[in-house]
Amino acid sequence: MTKTMIAILLLVSSYTVAQELKPRHSVEEIQQMKWKMIVEATKMSAKDIELIQPFFLEHEKSMWNLHQQKRMFFKTEQQKDGEDKVNYAQLNDQYVEFEVKEAELVKKYHSQIKKLLSPQSLYVYYKAEREFKRKLLDDMRAKRNEKRPIAE
């Protein structure tokens, strides 16, 4: 049963990556692509996949929720009209609070998965995460540049 589910997950992930790039991927699609890249890079066993994936998904969800909170807070602050003065001290403090919360989530995630992977595998795992982020940002920049008209 577990091997079947893993095979289905990898098949769906492969299909998602193989599709033509959409203008915008859903959060779930991005998470699937990231997970696939990590699994391939670390060459995790089926058992490791089964053990680690729930922590991965929980962490991704927590990070996304924090990102949304941060985005909404700063968007609301930017929309204040002339009567409401922006409290920059509060903005600065809130920015640091969001950064601390993010660091706490990363620390929690690390403490969970370091028990499940060897130090070398964990290093490769984190490296794959960084490479995925870099690739995602590069793809976004390339798409943005494609949309810009060429100046003559």
Please report which confidence band the pLDDT of residue 90 belongs to, taking 50, 70 and 90 as the band edges: confident
DSSP secondary structure code for residue 43 in this structure: T
- For residue 103, which of 73, 63, 56, 69 has the smallest C-alpha distance? 63
Sketch the domain layout of the chain as residue ranges.
2-147
pLDDT for 18 beyond 80 = no
Question: What token pair was written down for 18?
Answer: 């193989």
Q: What angle do CA 115, 119, 122 make, to 5 degrees?
A: 80
Please report which confidence band the pLDDT of residue 4 belongs to, taking 50, 70 and 90 as the band edges: very low
CA distance 53 to 10: 12
Whether this prediction's pTM lies above 0.85 is answered by no
